[in-house]
Structure 1
Amino acid sequence: MVKAVVLGASGGIGQPLSLLLKACPLVDELALYDVVNTPGVTADLSHISSVAKITGYLPKDDGLKHALTGADVVVIPAGIPRKPGMTRDDLFKINAGIVRDLVKGIAEFSPKAFTLVISNPVNSTVPIAAEVLKAAGVFDPKRLFGVTTLDVVRAETFTQEFSKLKNPSEATVPVIGETIVPLFSKVAPGFQIPADRYEALIKRVQFGGDEVVQAKDGAGSATLSMAFAGFRFAEAVIKAAKGEKGIVEPTFVYLPGVEGGAEIAKATGVDFFSTPVELGPNGAEKAINILGGITEQEKKLLEACVTGLKGNIEKGVEFVKNPPPK
């Protein structure tokens, strides 16, 4: 029996993510939680003739407790989009507070669950989640993941003209860091990116979200593709938990707590990093170091990534240790 939970189920990512999980034959029970509209989303999805039994909760009447109790996998897309006049710092404080409070619920009601954080910015919200779980004495680095799969999905899609694969997801295009470093030198099956297309392709993978915002004329962001990416990673975690072997997905993890991670932490100088991870019954079984033999161009991208990443990680840790005044 697999119980999956979506925290932030009524939002732009949460609704399509909940739809995909409801349709997934690997999910036996699906619990939805949000501060508004959850009963309506739940009623709508409950009419779908699939395996999962679905329940929905609001904060009242211990809703978070009921949603999380017995959870195996918890996916967190909760948060608000940036609004006109709102600074990035304003947005960070709100979303960081939302993630912190939800993870406190996980620590209390489902500490053994695999926790998959989608809420932006992942390179700060995952360290926030880790600090909350540490404070509660239940932190297991193998069970905490930042979902970076959308970067991978974009890289697969945008390189299809070079991979020539009918299904672009059959290509392995590693994307590391979390400040998005696609390693085109490590693709499998191997294919070449023309030199005159390289920089534009890197930029497109890194700033693919801007395409969507512009196409939606500022009225939305990449919610549907993010929901697909969140589902793809959740499905991989569930399959691995059920014993399927050989599942490797890039994800943002706490390196010192995962086998093989210390070597990557030493090479990069950061404790949190997105790298290909072999998944298993206990979560993150092994972090795979693919930094050897990368190109000079990729080394430069990695250096810039690590500089930004250090500040983002520190910001997340500081938020929990010294919360801003309300």
Structure 2
Amino acid sequence: MVSLSRLCEVSEHGVQFESFVDGSTMILTPEASIAHQNRIGADIIMALDDVVSSLADDDERFKEACGRTVRWLDRCIQAHAHPDKQNLFGIVQGGLDVSQGGLRDQCLSELIKRDLPGYAIGGLAGGESKEAFWKVVAKCTAQLPENKPRYLMGVGYPLDLVVCSALGVDMFDCVYPTRTARFGTAIVPSGLLKLKSAKCEHDERPIDDTCECFVCKKYTRAYLRVLLKKEETFGDAEQTTGSIGAHLITYHNVTYMLNLMRRLRQSIIDQKFEQFVQNFMLQQFPERNYPQWAVDALTEAKISLN
């Protein structure tokens, strides 16, 4: 809803969207949202929520959205036709208000009362400061039940995944691995590799020497750069959407993210999570110039980087 805010209007009934193609309108109510998801048959379905940009300067709108999110959740629960087969998650809203008894606290309290199969943290990753971001995450994970999945919506940078996992998040979703690939950028243990860069022109190494994906086994950085530059000639100079080069980098990026989270999960099982975080941070920041927000968040999670 935030990304389509110019094309939608929110009311108590639901959200009315205007087509950017022909101007026609459609209404999405909590009941319709659940009906669609019931038909799809997903294992996890989401309640329709009223989300406001984290950058908005409108306390009353945040308060309205927080209350409406809870009311819409109740309508979603009533409309849910397959609670024995599909897990309905509620979404915690409340802007950046982490004050005692504030909007996040109020929304958390109401959602927890409904004893849902899982809970999502929404309304973040919209341009707010990292300091505000992690404090909202910490506020939510500290109160949400430990025996239920805690899902952070729209967050996918590797650093964010590791830090927020330390704060107690279990699940994430984000377009970042695919979107950054469209710009010719690969995700590697040390950060990002811009394959359109001139320094890759004669680089015969794979994207990542430690990666086992077929792209890293078969293609060099130089070859991928050739693909990207050739496709750039016939399309957008910035994006290479739909190109072979972008597809190959996408495959690698998704593989990297899956492997990162597998290793993170295994470190928790092996009771070596703190060591995993320390090693990850050193790979990303070999000079130990860690972002202060990450240091503060990890300190909150009782993880030392010394």
TM-score with structure 1 setting the length: 0.40
**Structure with greater contact order relative to length (CA < 8 Å, sep ≥ 6):** 1
Larger Rg, first or second structure (1 or 2): 2
